[in-house]
Each structure stands twice: as structure tokens, then as C-alpha cells.
Amino acid sequence: MSYFLDSFVAAIALVTSLNPELLTIVTVSLTVSSTSAFFATLFGVPLGFTIAYAQIPGKRVIITLLNTLLALPTVVIGLFVYAFISRRGILGPLELLYTKNAIIFGQFILILPLITALTIAAVSRVDERYRKTARTLGATSLQTALIILREGRFAIAAAIISAFGRVLSEIGISMMLGGNIKGFTRTMTTAMALEYDKGAFTLAVALGLVLMTLSLLINVCFNLIQGKGTK
């Protein structure tokens, strides 16, 4: 017990002193997670809106498939992407393996179904009268879509925050596609796993504290947005 307490105290000192290695790891994690969340939002929100409102054959099957993909293990995605970007894969010449871009690509695939499915749920809950009123007043299809998105903005924002939290705490994709290279692709979760295997708990505990703090902030933002959406 005393060993854990000593590690905890040393970890706090590591965080408060802004240790360079710690900052590098946190920066890599935030960079890849925010980038993947940005691109997943860029594609997922329009895709979710289109599925929700367009007359698409097999819409129910598509929604069921999206909901199924929400439970897809990260290691499965890592293995799938690895097969494409390894040297013998189709995208091998691009030399993406063990780079930040590889992690971003894998995390993008992980949360795209999440943002899409939650966007579908968000815009489906918007009162149909908004769409009918907008069309009656002569709004174009784009203007009508923007009105619906505006009404569902809090739920969509909550979906994006949820997706960001998902990729920030994942480990399978980061480990398999990034390679856990020090100072380059080492994220908070992969570094914690490595330090634990080495028996060096100080850095692992420090990263755990940072990750829990970030998770707390994400949940606070999530709850604030949900609260505004229910008013």
C-alpha cells in the first residue's frame, strides 16, 4: 500500500511539474483524438441527417448495422486497418503503419458509426412541424436541413463529445496501428500499459490522473449540453 501511495505522490509531482515526457504523450493523445473526432463529425453528421430524412431503400437495415458497429471491439478495427496499411496491404505504399495518421484513420472508423447513429437519433426527435413550416414558408432543402440541425444541435454536440471521449480512452487501435513509439505515436493509454508492464507505476499513475481529469471534463461538458437540450 505504501508503494502505491508513494507512486501516487510522485505522480502528482510529475503532473504539477509539467514533465516533458508526460506533456508529449498527452499532446499526441489529444492531437490524434481531436483530429479523428473532427473528421468523423465532418462525415458523420451529414450522413446521419441524410439517412434520417432521405428515402433510402433498406434504411432500417442500415440503422441496425450502424447500431451493431457501435459495439465493435477496437482490436477488430485495428486488425482490419492493419491488413490494409501494412507493407503487403493495398495502402502499403503510403507507409501509414506506425504513424499518427494510422491511429487517426482507425479511430475515425471507430467513431463514425457512433456519431452517425446518434445524429440520426437527434434529428429524428426534432418535431416534424419544423420541417413542414420551413417548407411552407419557401425554405430550400438546404435551409430546411440547417433549421433541423439547429434544433438538434445540443444532442449532436453531445454525440461529438461522447465520440471524442471514446477515442481518447481507447487502446487497441493506438497500440496496433501506432506501435507505441516514444515521442511519436505513444498515447496515454498505450503508455500506461507499457509502464505497467515495466513495473514503473509513477508515469502510469500520472497519465491515469490526466486521463481521468480529461474524462471528468468531457462528462461535465456532456451533462451541460444535455441540460441545455432538455430546456
Pick the range with the lowest mean pLDDT from 38-47, 126-135, 176-185: 126-135
What per-residue confidence (pLDDT) applies to 28?
Answer: 96
Q: Which residue has the cell 490522473?
A: 209
Percent of the chain, pLDDT > 90?
Answer: 53
- Answer yes or no: are the C-beta atoms of 22 and 15 closer than 8 Å: yes
What per-residue confidence (pLDDT) applies to 228?
Answer: 63
Q: How confident is the model at residue 200 (pLDDT cuts 50, 70, 90)?
A: confident
The domain in which residue 76 lies consists of: 2-229
Residue 53 vs residue 197, higher pLDDT = 53
182: phi > 0 → left, psi -120 to 50 → alpha, else beta; which? beta
Is residue 219 predicted with pLDDT exceeding 80? Answer: yes
CA angle 202, 207, 212 (to 5 degrees): 125
Is residue 153 predicted with pLDDT exceeding 80? Answer: yes
Counting the structural domains of the chain, the total is 1
Supply the CATH number for residue 28's domain. Answer: 1.10.3720.10
**CA distances, 181 to each of 84, 107, 150, 184 (Å):** 20, 17, 42, 5
What per-residue confidence (pLDDT) applies to 32?
Answer: 97
What per-residue confidence (pLDDT) applies to 171?
Answer: 93
Is residue 191 predicted with pLDDT exceeding 70? Answer: yes
Average pLDDT in the chain: 88
Q: What number is the average pLDDT over the span 30-59?
A: 92
Residue 4 vs residue 87, higher pLDDT = 87
Q: What number is the average pLDDT over the span 79-84?
A: 94
Q: What number is the average pLDDT over the span 177-182?
A: 92
What is the spatial distance between Cα 220 and Cα 70, in angstroms, rounded to a whole number?
A: 23
Percent of the chain, pLDDT > 70?
Answer: 96
Which residue pairs from 13-16 have beta carbons closer than 8 angstroms and sit at least 24 positions apart in sequence?
14/202, 14/203, 14/206, 15/206, 15/209, 15/210
What per-residue confidence (pLDDT) applies to 229?
Answer: 55
In degrees and rounded to multiples of 5, residue 18 shows phi and psi of 55, 55
Q: What number is the average pLDDT over the span 202-221?
A: 90
